[in-house]
Structure 1
């Protein structure tokens, strides 16, 4: 009996001891939104038989349960504005840490029953993201994504499909966080139906490294991310467009045509899209199903009324995009595109080169024909190898070929000197290019500790061969006896260049406190560049070729940089900041064998940076950014050789040039009012450059020849500002949009070795009223004014000013029996341009459209574009002491009839 009791006691002792030593482990993970950005403040609850625990995610989206005894448990993730997510997990009992696969929460718009603003929150402002809820921007059935984006405050879309968000150009588009057709903007906005979109996000993307470490110390890329509705992410959709017509330009009948197709199949993470297009109506590449080239079925933006493409363009394109999760944690996406673009342009350029005692006037009349063909293949592999390791590899290959035929006639005059020049070229260019990008990150067990590696290898090659005919007649009537010169050159010019780039970088992030981090980084980059230009004189009779040493040159150089940097990031309540600096030793070794010139330059640069963001409240934020940057002179600028390949514009390098240092400061304010539905976006930036590389323009006495030298100067700065304000005036019926920009540049040049300051100001103000009655009328009234002024400090210089005023109206009426009538009218008035250039185009576009079948899946349209035949491109550019006034032909009046068919089928199973 005693033995039995003793055995029971021993068993109970070991049972209690074993229970007291049950293995506990750490469970942790990361929570992100649909774009891959970390979510702060997510409530994470762990449910197990033994206990229930709760934590919140930090500023990097990470959460940690330090003592979890259960092997099986459930986690739930909740955050206002996102859908609740729950999942069961099982831990490996042999491991002390359970690192979970990254959790992605999907947005869940909040219903605002007490506020009558579309019934949803239209705009949500996050740290680096502005999110627009698609439900708040209603468009008609079969509308494309571009039509919806036009309605979103702070975003502007021009006729060519370019998108500016808060005053900055959007350069990349993603679908569900991944590049769509290599990020091509038009492919997404003019192919994806608006109906399938859940949200549109404008993101300041700082790159893969910043997205993981959270430390942002570089210039962001403006990215548009489209999230697809869950019930529209499983199905197929596409469209087919065909149309034909004619115009009467150039006193002859020309046929106009457009054809396009798209086919898309989405099945969750698996997506495949095939697109193709062919047209000669100046429709932008990858503008699928867009009969007018203005975006969808008749966008009313005034910018869409004027064809912004110079010349007459014929474009053909085809592409395929693929995306899939091929294994657990492994995603692949990419594709192939082919584009061909034939452009024929006739233009006139009036150039004034202003000097203290004279002005050189040049009038160039140019006719050009360019045929460009491009193949591009890109592919990305993203692999979450395990819970601690992430790898991304992106190889890209492209090939561009171009045939160019140009004929120009120039008359150049300066006081008594006069030059008449005919310059014709016929050339071909081929550009093969290959690069591969690699990014690897390792996440250590300690929260916030990361190590990552970046690498890039690029090879670029260019071959260009030109046949040149140059006929020049010069007259100097100021001499005692008039001096006349006649020069005839028939030349062959062969250009060759290649660029090999290798980049390697490392970054290590260490947490200092719970809300601060320290990053150490290193980057090495080398660029090996070689260039050669051989110019041959061709005998007009025998066609024998003779090398011209004075017009030929070859050089190669190696540019190397090492950068050692450190960044500190902290978070204090609503304020998040990053402070950093880097030391950058640089080395340049080059040689020009044909001139017997050798170059060796070493520099040590100091590169500071700072970023601060203050979240005033949930709908307002203020950010301040500073960045220093060193710019090395181009090798052609530091070569102490005389380039006379263009006898009218001689270029001489300067071996003593120093690198520029840029101080860049920007301030951004963003606000959205849920109560009123109004929004305000502002952006101010200031750039100051020390030792700026400027030109010294020297005119040759009694001649129209100009020489350009290079030197360093201080005093350059540029101040820019932009704002966009939008507010509903009468609920959904009327919306007021105000936006404007100003750019003031204190530019520096030297004129005949005399310092010249050109104060250039460009100011633009736009006013737009949108009127919409659903299923009845859409109207757009817009006015804009732009002024471009420059004032010089040299008294004898004549100040220049030009301005443009435009007023227009666009409207669509939805008539009974599925008829649509659209009228767009625009009047532009230009003043201050040269008499050779000035034009005041009046544009009128009209179309009538009839829809058929169920869900209006078929539409036929009859369109008249530019009925007054006045479409002309006019613009002004001011560079140093040069004022360019340019006028180019554009596609004018034409008529087109087209048929558009759209098909879609989505699965009812989610």
Structure 2
């Protein structure tokens, strides 16, 4: 990278401190009766604009105090002393103010109790069971900051440039407000549009399944969640946003949203359009709007045990493009409310979407076979996809009485898809002679309809801990599609001379239907003050049909590729869990047994395939609260995995003559064991946080891939059982705050080691991958300047038992410099430089180093800074490319893909969310 860039970074970041001059407040505190100098009086400086605590100190034996390194603005100085009333003094500072309060007199509460303001203080960080609680006012942020900026100040919480949140090493998928969804549970909505000064507490915890929340018995199903608790005067208001961004090369990013919330009532409408990968902030925030979630009764045709997921996830999976050049349109609305003395509630979400993407990809790989043969493959693929549709999701809930409730949830979706893919692939030998070439064009379009629902009745009995719940879940899916596949394959002899040519032109007409009904009954009983039991029974039956007609280019049916299947699955699931709780210790252990029978009827060939399964899944979860600041948990889960129908008897397809799948009806079930350990500790006085987690897993009779590769690189894939798959991973996170220096240090160390087996040409291939990660962060923050440096490094090794093309080692390290400074006249300037280094290794003989420099200048105006004008420039050095490398075992490869180049974007963001908070002081 040019030295000039490093110099520019240094100058830019160094200039931030020069832009912020410091002010000082000094004073003397004494009482009014004896004029006695008061030692250890608590002096707190509070920012007037949002009541955020800026700094806290105590008086010395002479009653003197000093607060330095302050920035201009309006503040409130609060002085507290036992048995005396608080003193509140308004302070206005310029950039270089030195204010001295010669005599601050304190009076007894008994004399002026009716005139004083008494403030209670709370610990900045505390532990409530397994929940970490942060007092929002204890973490300084700039005025008008949103919740996302507040989260960046919290120890153990990481927010990246895209708004993704990580807490204690786990990704945050759900953000609640006052324990409920806030126009849906997507993290971006609440963190982008709620203001930090409206927040009382931020709670980080493992959200349990709906069943565990009802019964109080831990079933091991958890989702890392953040709950934002609002101040009382901030729970009613409105949101409004208009986001218009336009740039060079016809780049556009538009969004608009309006919403109101009053207590439990919430309503919102939104619309977005974007052809940029980052999309509109509104689009990202509103993507996951959905109704009440519930635990899905889901049993696959492989007989796998009941799986639990959020009942709204179906509504999120629109196949939104993750690569290439997007072009996305979203429209939607949300309504939720509770009424009739909070006994009844409704939630409704409607969506319309149109996602389009184009992606040009290339690849180049080298593969070593057991006989020492080297295959060099290259290819180019041009993809175009479209996905349009509508969806609706809703929930009705009714509290029948104080102990029982009824919930009815439903979701429906209709979508149309189109795809077009053109690929050119070839394989050469180690001598660079052609082995085979394949040219393929695939087009298709389809229509899909989905409905799913849940009816839940729950009852809590007067005996504490005794509960009963019943779920009924109907589901249906249907789809129709038409596909065309044109394939030209050329085969070469050992000297690279064409041997033969094969042409295929297939037309496919597909129709499928599926209906299912599931029921679950769950009962819990407290056996004693410390022991409790949970017992449940579930069943689900699935009936589906699949009809496929395949014809050639002369419209003649090809019987060997056509099919007419009917499938019936019936499953019974029983589960028992015992839980012991005493003081700060709890342990739950149980067993789940699943009996499944499925019948697959081939109506064309009059063949039947029948199978019966019995799966066992033990689990144990242990939790111990060591003290008020430390917790430890241990968990074990085991599950049996049956081979699915595609592994036993796949439907024959001929999209590509170079690839074929053959089933193995002799496959046995596999059993996986997973053991996990996690630890969390806060040292409140020293502002220090430590967490660690480790996971080990191994599989007996693992179902692994087998592959036969011939001299033309034709591959026949199947499956077999082997022992030896295992993995070990872990990580340690450390964070330390230095409040007097406005500085925070973070260190994140992780590793992953895995062993995976496969079979190539009847030879067992054991691939061992090891990865070590180190990430550190250095952050200096004041309301006027935010400067950070985040370096990270990853070292990977990959070895194969059949041999390697290299030593399998690769190293990469990244460095991100970021600085934001508040300038006069409500201006904000940011510059971010991301450096990526991929040194040359035994697989790739050249370095891959790039520097991505982005910057923006924004100005805020109008009341509460509601209007923001922003000029953004990305990839100033024009170094961004779409490129990946892979090094592992007997295969190495590199690939390219379409990407959005650097652009200049002028944006206008009108945000009224700041106006919902009444201007009252806590």
8 A contact 2:734–2:746 mirrored in 1 = yes
Deviations 1:48-71 (A, max 9, x none): xxxxxxxxxxxxxxxxxxxxxxxx
| Deviation larger for 365-374 or 802-811 | 365-374
- Counterpart selection for 1:895 from 889, 893, 904: 904
Secondary structure, counterpart of 2:753 in structure 1: strand
8 A contact 1:873–1:889 mirrored in 2 = yes
Structure 1 residues 355 and 844, CA gap change in structure 2 (3 angstroms) = same
Alpha-carbon distance between aligned partners in 2 of 1:733 and 1:168, rounded to the nearest angstrom: 26
Shift of 1:601: 1.6
- Counterpart selection for 2:370 from 356, 359, 377: 356
- Match in the other structure for 1:442: 459
Alpha-carbon distance between aligned partners in 2 of 1:566 and 1:132, rounded to the nearest angstrom: 37
| Deviation larger for 759-768 or 398-407 | 398-407
Structure 1 residues 760 and 144, CA gap change in structure 2 (3 angstroms) = same
Alpha-carbon distance between aligned partners in 1 of 2:419 and 2:677, rounded to the nearest angstrom: 44
1:392 aligns with 2:402: no
1:800 aligns with 2:808: yes
1:598 aligns with 2:612: no
Please show how residues 392-411 of structure 1 align to structure 2 within 5 Å: 392-411=407-426
- Match in the other structure for 1:368: 383
1:865 aligns with 2:874: yes
Secondary structure, counterpart of 1:905 in structure 2: helix
Structure 1 residues 391 and 585, CA gap change in structure 2 (3 angstroms) = same
8 A contact 2:600–2:610 mirrored in 1 = yes
Alpha-carbon distance between aligned partners in 2 of 1:285 and 1:750, rounded to the nearest angstrom: 46
Shift of 1:553: 4.1
- Match in the other structure for 2:837: 829
Shift of 1:670: 1.0
8 A contact 2:808–2:887 mirrored in 1 = no
Please show how residues 762-773 of structure 1 align to structure 2 within 5 Å: 762-773=771-782
Please show how residues 223-238 of structure 1 align to structure 2 within 5 Å: 223-238=225-240
| Deviation larger for 209-218 or 611-620 | 209-218
Q: How large is the Cα RMSD of the aligned pairs?
A: 2.8
Secondary structure, counterpart of 1:889 in structure 2: coil
- Counterpart selection for 2:821 from 813, 826, 837: 813
Alpha-carbon distance between aligned partners in 1 of 2:832 and 2:273, rounded to the nearest angstrom: 25
1:323 aligns with 2:336: yes
1:670 aligns with 2:680: yes
1:587 aligns with 2:587: no
Shift of 1:153: 2.9
8 A contact 1:414–1:703 mirrored in 2 = no
8 A contact 2:130–2:631 mirrored in 1 = no
Structure 1 residues 699 and 908, CA gap change in structure 2 (3 angstroms) = closer
Deviations 1:612-661 (A, max 9, x none): 10000121100011112122222111107654432111110111212222
1:429 aligns with 2:446: yes
- Match in the other structure for 1:188: 190
8 A contact 1:438–1:454 mirrored in 2 = yes
- Match in the other structure for 2:358: 344
Shift of 1:277: 1.8
Shift of 1:159: 4.0
Shift of 1:728: 0.9
Alpha-carbon distance between aligned partners in 2 of 1:839 and 1:217, rounded to the nearest angstrom: 47
Deviations 1:718-771 (A, max 9, x none): 212133221113546111111132221111111112222111122221111111
Where structure 2 has 5 or more consecutive residues not aligned to the other structure, the ranges are 1-117, 286-320
8 A contact 2:804–2:891 mirrored in 1 = no
Alpha-carbon distance between aligned partners in 1 of 2:782 and 2:332, rounded to the nearest angstrom: 38
Secondary structure, counterpart of 1:148 in structure 2: helix
- Match in the other structure for 1:608: 618
Alpha-carbon distance between aligned partners in 1 of 2:348 and 2:441, rounded to the nearest angstrom: 41
Structure 1 residues 159 and 407, CA gap change in structure 2 (3 angstroms) = farther
8 A contact 1:355–1:797 mirrored in 2 = no
1:313 aligns with 2:326: yes
Alpha-carbon distance between aligned partners in 2 of 1:360 and 1:447, rounded to the nearest angstrom: 67
Alpha-carbon distance between aligned partners in 1 of 2:511 and 2:832, rounded to the nearest angstrom: 48
Where structure 1 has 5 or more consecutive residues not aligned to the other structure, the ranges are 1-109, 114-119, 247-253, 291-307, 539-543
8 A contact 1:414–1:704 mirrored in 2 = no
Secondary structure, counterpart of 1:653 in structure 2: coil
Alpha-carbon distance between aligned partners in 2 of 1:725 and 1:825, rounded to the nearest angstrom: 25
- Match in the other structure for 1:262: 257
8 A contact 1:837–1:887 mirrored in 2 = no
What is the TM-score with the length of structure 1 in the denominator? 0.79
| Deviation larger for 680-689 or 491-500 | 491-500
Please show how residues 298-697 of structure 1 align to structure 2 within 5 Å: 310-328=323-341, 329-357=343-371, 358-415=373-430, 418-478=435-495, 482-538=497-553, 544-594=554-604, 596-639=606-649, 643-697=653-707
Shift of 1:331: 2.0
8 A contact 1:643–1:652 mirrored in 2 = no
Please show how residues 57-136 of structure 1 align to structure 2 within 5 Å: 121-136=123-138
Secondary structure, counterpart of 1:548 in structure 2: coil
Shift of 1:898: 1.3
Shift of 1:863: 1.3
8 A contact 2:198–2:917 mirrored in 1 = no
Alpha-carbon distance between aligned partners in 1 of 2:479 and 2:156, rounded to the nearest angstrom: 40
| Deviation larger for 641-650 or 672-681 | 641-650
8 A contact 2:687–2:738 mirrored in 1 = no
8 A contact 2:375–2:427 mirrored in 1 = yes
Structure 1 residues 310 and 467, CA gap change in structure 2 (3 angstroms) = same
8 A contact 1:277–1:286 mirrored in 2 = no
What is the TM-score with the length of structure 2 in the denominator? 0.78
Structure 1 residues 286 and 653, CA gap change in structure 2 (3 angstroms) = farther
Alpha-carbon distance between aligned partners in 1 of 2:548 and 2:884, rounded to the nearest angstrom: 33
Shift of 1:417: 5.1
Aligned length: 762
8 A contact 2:242–2:257 mirrored in 1 = yes
Deviations 1:518-551 (A, max 9, x none): 112112123334444433222xxxxx32223344
| Deviation larger for 493-502 or 811-820 | 493-502
Shift of 1:112: 8.6
8 A contact 1:349–1:837 mirrored in 2 = no
Structure 1 residues 844 and 567, CA gap change in structure 2 (3 angstroms) = same
Alpha-carbon distance between aligned partners in 1 of 2:772 and 2:809, rounded to the nearest angstrom: 12
Alpha-carbon distance between aligned partners in 1 of 2:654 and 2:129, rounded to the nearest angstrom: 53
